[in-house]
Structure 1
C-alpha cells in the first residue's frame, strides 16, 4: 500500500465514517435493539479507602441482575433484553464521580446507580437535573441504594432520583426506639464523619434523644475527616474519658471498622449504636468485646428467620462463598427487581415512563414488604435493630466467617419508620 493510500485511510473521510458508524450504533443501542442489554451504570469507589464497600455493592447488584436474566431478562417493546452492570470508579470523591457521570451519559447508559456517600449523591442529583433538562432525548434515572442524607428526599428531592434505603432520620428513628427502653444508657457520645451525612446523623440523634430520652446526657459530639484516620485510638481515649456508656455513629466502611477495632484494643466497654456495624470487617474487628454491645440497623439481616429469608441468604453465599465477600443487602437486590418490573410496565427505558412506573410500586416477598412513596421517591419499609452475638442458637449465620452474627432486638413496622417529607417535586412536562 502506498503512502498516499495510507494517508487516505487515515484522513478526514475515514474519521467522519468512523464517527458516523459509532453514532448510529449508539443511537440504535439507546433506542433499544431487540436483545441488546439494558445497561446499569454503577458509580462507586472501587479504589481508595472505601473500595471494599464499592466491591460489596457490585456483588449484590450482580447477583440481582443474574437473577433477572435467568428469568429471560426484561420485557420491552423490542422484546426481551438482559440487564448488564457497567462499573465506573469514582475513587470515592465527588469530582471524580462527576467525571464518571459524564463518561456514563456519553455511553448512553439510561440508569445511574450509586449510594456510598451522600455528598456524591447530592452532586449527582444536581448534575442529573441539569443533564435531563438540557438533553431530554437522553434523560437518565438515578437509583440510590445507600446515600441516606434526608435532604435527598426533602429539600433537594428530584423526580429523577429514587432512594431504596431508609434515610438517616429513619434509621435514627429505629436506633433511638431501641435506646428508649434501654435504661442503662445514660451518657451518649456522638462521633461521625465530617460531611453532610455525618452532620445529619448527629443532628437527628440529638433531636430524637431529647424527645424520647431527655434524661440522657450528650457527653461528646465530634466529627472526623472521612477516610483519612488510620488510628482511632485518640478518639477512643476521649470517649472513655467522657464516661459515655453508649456511642452513636453513622460511620461506614473502614472508618467504622478501624474505630471498633480501636475500641476493642482500648478496652472501651460502651455500647455502639451503629448504622453499619454488621459487616465489612466490623464484627471480626470487635470480637468478643462486641457481643451484646454492637448494634446495627438495616432493612434485613441474615438471622431475621424464616425459610424464604434463609434461602435468599444462602443463595448469596453459594454465589460468593468467600467469607470476605459476605456482605448482603436486600435493598440493592430489591432495587434491581423493582427496576426490572418498572421497565417492563413502561415497555421501554424512557426515564419518565420508568419513573412513573416506579412511583407507588410495592415490593413484597415472604419476608419483606416495601413501597415507593410517590411524593418524594423514598422507599418505605420495615427496619430491624440487631445486636452482635456469638453464632449459635437463633444466630444461625455469622458474618464474614467471624463466628459472630446478629440477632433482632427490635423490629419496626413500616408505619413506625415512615417520617413526613417536605419534598416539593418538580415534575417534567412530558
Structure 2
C-alpha cells in the first residue's frame, strides 16, 4: 500500500489572529446582518418598554416536560441534558427573566422510543404541561411534532408548544415543518457546511473515512457529508463509509483496522454518547491517532476518554459553543460544574428558556398559542449574541464554531471535564455561511 503524503493539522489560533478571515463581509451577509441589527433595535426597544412594566407575569409558573432517554444506553446523555434544562430554569426564573415567570422542568423517560415518547407526551398533556422539550433522536422528534400538531388542531384550548434542542433532521423544518415546532439547534445540513468548509480549506486532506450509527442521524451524516464535500472539494475521496448498530456495545476493533487499511487521513463521525467513547477507546488501544471531525466530542464522558490519549489524537468539534464560551453563560457553566460535578454541554437550554421568557413578557401571557406567534421571527439574545427564529420554518439561525481539542492555556484556561484539555475555537461561521433556503410550507393556525 502506498504511504499517504503527510497531512498537517491546523492549530488553534488566538481569536484576534483569525477575526479578519472569519468575518469577511459579503453582500448577502451584509443584508442579513443589517436586517438582524434592525430587528435587534426593535427588540431592545421592546425590552426597554418591558422595563417600565417589569415582571408582568410574576407569580405564574410555566411547566416544561422534558422527553428524552433517562434509562438505557443513552441515559447518561439524557440525564445531563435534563439537568441542563432544570439548571437554566432555576437560574432564569422570577426576577431573572423579563416576564417574571417561574420555570419548572420535569423529566419524562422515553427510553429512546418514538412510541414511548408519544405515551410520555399524552401523560404530560394530561398532567397540564403545555411546553415540551426534546432533542435525542429525529425519529422521536418527527413523531412528537406530528402528534402535537394533531393535538392542537383537535384541542386548541390545550395547545402545546414544542422546542427541539438537538434533533437535526433537515426535514423537520422543511417538508415536515409545522407551526408548533421550534428548533434551537442547527440542522445537520448546516453543521455539515461548517464541517466540510473547514476541512476543504486544508489542501493536504484528500482521503476521509466515514463511520456512523445505523439510524437516521448517522445515515444523514454520511449522505450530507458526501454531498457537501463534493461541492466544496471534488478531489476529496471517501475511502470508507461504515454504519454500525447504535448503542448496542459495538466492538470497533474491526472498524479501526478498516480505517487503517483504507489510508484515510481523517475520520468524520456523527457518533455520540457511548458509541463515540468506545470508538475513541478502540482507536487509542490500537494506536491510531488520525484526526476526528465530529459534532459531539464534548458530551458527557468523551473528554475524559480523549484525555487518556495525552493529546495525541487531533479532534475537531462543530458546535454552537466551545469550552471557554464568554458572556453570561461562562459563569453559569462554572456554577453547573460546581453543582453537578459534570460539564454543562446543552447550551441550547439557555436559548430555550431565554426565548420563552421574552416572548411571554412581550405578549403578557404564558398561553402557548400566543407565545408561538411571538417566537415566529423573533430576534433575542442567545448565549452567544443576537439570534433569530426564522419565521418561514421555525429554525433558529445562529453561528457555529469549529474548535480543536488541545491543552488548556492562558487564552483558553477552562478545561473539559477537568481533564486539563479544552475545545479551543479555530474558526467561527455565522448564520449566513451555514444556513440555506427552506422548503417549508407552513400552515399557520
TM range (shorter): 0.7 to 0.9
Aligned length: 388
Computing the radius of gyration over CA atoms, which structure comes out larger, 1 or 2? 1
Whether 2:80 is the aligned partner of 1:56: answer yes
Partner of 2:321: 300
| Alpha-carbon shift at residue 320 of structure 1 (Å) | 3.1
Residue among 399, 402, 405 paired with 1:385? 402
The question of whether the paired residues in 2 share the 8 Å contact of 1:141 and 1:160 is answered with: yes
The question of whether the paired residues in 2 share the 8 Å contact of 1:300 and 1:329 is answered with: no
Q: Once the two structures are superposed, what CA deviation does each residue of 1:17-43 show, in whole Å capped at 9, x if it has no partner?
A: xxxxxxxxxxxxxxxx98342100000
In structure 1, the residue corresponding to 2:211 is in which secondary structure? strand
Whether 2:90 is the aligned partner of 1:66: answer yes
Residue among 395, 415, 422 paired with 2:412? 395
| Alpha-carbon shift at residue 52 of structure 1 (Å) | 1.3
TM-score (norm 2): 0.83
What are the ranges of 5 or more consecutive residues in structure 2 without an aligned counterpart? 1-56
Distance 2:433 2:388 in 1: 14
Partner of 1:100: 120
| Alpha-carbon shift at residue 420 of structure 1 (Å) | 1.1
Q: Once the two structures are superposed, what CA deviation does each residue of 1:349-375 show, in whole Å capped at 9, x if it has no partner?
A: 322211111012112368422110000
Distance 1:81 1:129 in 2: 26
Q: Following superposition of structure 1 onto structure 2, how do residues 218-237 of structure 1 map, counting pairs within 5 Å?
A: 218-237=238-257
Distance 2:299 2:184 in 1: 19
Distance 1:366 1:163 in 2: 16
Q: Once the two structures are superposed, what CA deviation does each residue of 1:299-346 show, in whole Å capped at 9, x if it has no partner?
A: 111335x5x2xx522332224327851133322211111011112222
Call closer, same or farther: CA 1:389–1:280 in 2, change over 3 Å. same
The question of whether the paired residues in 2 share the 8 Å contact of 1:74 and 1:83 is answered with: no
In structure 2, the residue corresponding to 1:247 is in which secondary structure? strand
| Alpha-carbon shift at residue 291 of structure 1 (Å) | 4.9
Call closer, same or farther: CA 1:290–1:207 in 2, change over 3 Å. farther
Distance 2:74 2:408 in 1: 27
| Alpha-carbon shift at residue 67 of structure 1 (Å) | 2.4
Call closer, same or farther: CA 1:322–1:238 in 2, change over 3 Å. farther
Whether 2:287 is the aligned partner of 1:267: answer yes
Partner of 2:214: 194
Distance 2:166 2:293 in 1: 18
Partner of 1:25: none
After superposing the two structures, state which structure 1 stretch, 339-348 or 269-278, moved more: 339-348
Partner of 1:128: 148
The question of whether the paired residues in 2 share the 8 Å contact of 1:245 and 1:269 is answered with: no
The question of whether the paired residues in 2 share the 8 Å contact of 1:111 and 1:141 is answered with: yes
Distance 1:51 1:176 in 2: 30
TM-score (norm 1): 0.86
Partner of 1:145: 165
In structure 2, the residue corresponding to 1:321 is in which secondary structure? helix
Distance 1:184 1:268 in 2: 19
Distance 1:297 1:291 in 2: 19
The question of whether the paired residues in 1 share the 8 Å contact of 2:94 and 2:101 is answered with: no
The question of whether the paired residues in 2 share the 8 Å contact of 1:283 and 1:290 is answered with: no
What are the ranges of 5 or more consecutive residues in structure 1 without an aligned counterpart? 1-32
Higher relative contact order (CA 8 A, sep 6+): 2
In structure 2, the residue corresponding to 1:327 is in which secondary structure? coil
In structure 1, the residue corresponding to 2:416 is in which secondary structure? coil
| Alpha-carbon shift at residue 225 of structure 1 (Å) | 1.3
Partner of 2:357: 340
Partner of 1:21: none
Distance 1:371 1:289 in 2: 40
Distance 1:405 1:55 in 2: 23
Partner of 2:137: 117
Whether 2:70 is the aligned partner of 1:46: answer yes
In structure 2, the residue corresponding to 1:200 is in which secondary structure? helix
What is the Cα-based RMSD across aligned positions, in Å?
2.0
